[in-house]
Structure formats: C-alpha cells, structure tokens
Amino acid sequence: MAKEFIVPNQIFTGPEALEASAPSLAKMGKKALIVTDEVMRKLGNCAKVEQVLSASGVAYTVYDGVNGEPTDRMVDKGLDIYQAEGCDFLVALGGGSPMDTMKAIGVLAGGGGFISDYMGKVIDVPMPPMAAIPTTAGTGSEATQFTIITDTKRDIKMLLKGSVVMPDLAIIDPQFTMTAPPSVTSSTGLDALCHAVEAYTSRKAQALSDTFALSAVKRIFHSLPQAFADGSPEARIEMSVAALEAGVAFNNASVTLIHGMSRPIGALFHIPHGLSNAMLLPVCLRYALPGAYDRFAQLGRAIGVAQAEEDDPSAAEHFLQAVESLVKELKTPTLAKYGVDKGTFFAAIDKMAHDAMESGSPQNTLRSVTEFVVKELYAELW
Ligand SMILES: [Fe+2]
C-alpha cells in the first residue's frame, strides 16, 4: 500500500540557521505573532528573532504566555492577540509548548470555533503560514502534523492532527539549545528517543520513517550522554538534528504505547512530557519487546550493543538494557521521587488507562495492548 511522507516545506539546520532563514521568514507575511514563553524573553532569545524580523522589514507582536504545558486557555489568549494585532502569520520560539500552542492558534485563526471542536477529526482548514524555532532538542514538534493541547474542562490532553498543522518552515538553530539545564537536556532528549524507538516499532512504520528513526536512535545514543554530562556544543548540535529526525520519523509512523500512556500522566499530574515518557520508557519497552524482537534487535545492532550474528530476542534484550542504563545515567526520577502521591496515582489509573486507549496510540504497538494491560503497566511504575 502506498504511504504518504510529510515534512516541513523548508528546513534550516546548523549554526546561524536563524539568520539564514531571514529571507524565507520575510516571505511569510507582513506581521508575525511570535508565540513563546517568559524564559525565552528573559534569556534574550526572543530578541534575536525580533531582530531578524525587523531587519527583514517584518512587523511583529509577542505573546509570551505559554508558561507550562499548553492549554485551551493559552490558545484562546494567543488567538485574541493574533486577531487584535492584525497578524497574518505565526512564529513559535521555544520547546514543544509554544510550538503546539502556535499550531492551535493557527487552526482557530483559519477555521474558527474552539480547539476542542477539532479533537478526533483530521484538521483541514486554511492555515496562516507557520515557522517553528525549537529551543530544546526533543519534542520534534517543528516537524509534526500534531499538536497536544490540554482541555482544562475535561483534564485530558487532546491529540489534534492534520497535515495542514505541519509548520511551513522549521529553523533548527542549535544556539538556542546551548543553555538548557541538564534536567531539560535529559527529559527532552529521552522524549526524542521515545519518538524514534516508537516510530521504528510502530505498526505504521514505513521505509522512509525507518531511515529517520534509525539515524535518530544512533545519534541519541552517541551524543545524549555527553550533552547531559557537560553540555558540549558538538553533542548539542547532534542532538538538535536527532530531535528533528525523530520528529520526522514519528510524524510519519506515529507513536505507540509510551506516548499513549504518557499524555494522561501529564494531564493529571502535570509532569513535563519528556519526563513522564522517560519514566515509562523501560516498562513499556519491556512489554513491547516480544511483539517485535526483530525490530528491537535491529536497533540493538545499529547502536552496537548487539552482534550481527546474535539472535533477535537476545539482540533486542541488549537494546532494552542499553535503554535502561541510559535512563539511569540521565538521572530520570521515579514518580515517587518526583513527588507524586501513590494513592492519588492508583485512584487515577482507570481514567488514565481509558484516556490512553482512547488516543489510539497504544494500539500502534506491535504487541497487542488492552486497557487491562495499560492498567498493569501504570501499576508497575511503583
Ligand atoms: Fe513526545
């Protein structure tokens, strides 16, 4: 069966990518809404984007209200500013949250209504042009047709999608990732690892997504420990490319069990996305392994922890062990250490398992997943 493969129209990577993208940004419209957070403003990163727009004769206004995981309220506020200021295109600067918020603002600017109206549909509305500038090496949102927005009335993270949600321009300038503290480097880097591994072991994997997923997994195992340990610029540059590759991979192959189970934890316990993924990573892969020994074995051989002649179950096990030690090396806390109350968590398992299955992601896993299994796996986190 034919497969579709979607990427941003234009991608700039490497040092000075922001400056190099100026002519493309200038063609997107007359006035940009820059969607970002307060930290980006304080660090002076937003000013760098403002300078590039000004130098190109493009007007702009800044919305820096995306402080935390994106909610429907943040989207509405951004839309108000976009419309009141007469903006005609969008630029996101930040981690996944500003990029996802930008996409949702674009959907409402083009299609109207409330963002929750778009849940469960393939979004197909005329969108304003969008540019995404990631400042963490992880979410890959700059290269995806998805946006995750919390519905604050129902306490769920809505997974919204449509090819029109893909940014037109992705600017991967590693200068913005240089200041990330180790905890952010760790959780966002492991988020990228989840994207790549889930894409590679998804029922929806295809030849082209495999290429990007394999490359991302190799790059992450090679560079994430160093990016975390000493923040070396070379390792960070590699991680910024890996996060993009992993984003391209899961955009075209979907995610599976980890992301399916991670969103409900994030919605109820407000744990940053990358961190809840990292907490789930070993438990979920341990479950998924028997459904795809061959795929996990290929990952093990690709990163050099399994030999070419080793049989698949053994090579797959070696890959899982490498993941487990990476998660430990990067000091991923447990739910208990993070301060989640065990009783509250167990009381929420039924709702979380239901919401996880509803998202459709766990069903992409190559081993059959039921709501009962998801409940058991949540319990295994303690
Ligand atoms: Fe993710």
Query: Cα torsion at 166, 167, 172, 178 (round to 10°)?
Result: -90
CA of 104 to the centre of ligand 1 (A): 17
What is the pLDDT at residue 157?
Answer: 84
What is the pLDDT at residue 317?
Answer: 98
What is the pLDDT at residue 193?
Answer: 98
Enumerate residues with CB within 5 Å of ligand 1 (an ion): 191
DSSP-derived 3-state class of residue 276: helix
CA of 113 to the centre of ligand 1 (A): 26
Query: Is pLDDT at 380 greater than 90 in this prediction?
Result: yes
Q: pLDDT, tens digit, for every residue of 241-288? A: 999 999 999 999 999 999 999 999 998 998 988 999 999 999 999 999
**One-letter-per-residue 3-state SS of 148-161:** EEEECCCCEEEEEE
Query: Is pLDDT at 292 greater than 90 in this prediction?
Result: yes
Q: Which residue has the higher pLDDT, 213 or 268?
A: 213
Query: Is pLDDT at 338 greater than 90 in this prediction?
Result: yes
Q: Is 159 left (phi over 0), alpha (psi -120 to 50) or beta?
A: beta
Q: pLDDT, tens digit, for every residue of 54-88? A: 999 999 999 999 998 899 999 999 999 999 999 99
Domains (ranges, CATH) in the chain? 10-177 (3.40.50.1970), 182-379 (1.20.1090.10)
What is the pLDDT at residue 228?
Answer: 96
Mean pLDDT of 163-185: 94
CA of 379 to the centre of ligand 1 (A): 22
CA of 263 to the centre of ligand 1 (A): 9
Q: pLDDT, tens digit, for every residue of 110-156? A: 999 999 999 989 999 999 999 999 998 889 999 999 999 999 999 88
CA of 308 to the centre of ligand 1 (A): 30
CA of 148 to the centre of ligand 1 (A): 10
Rounded percentage of the chain residues whose pLDDT exceeds 90:
93
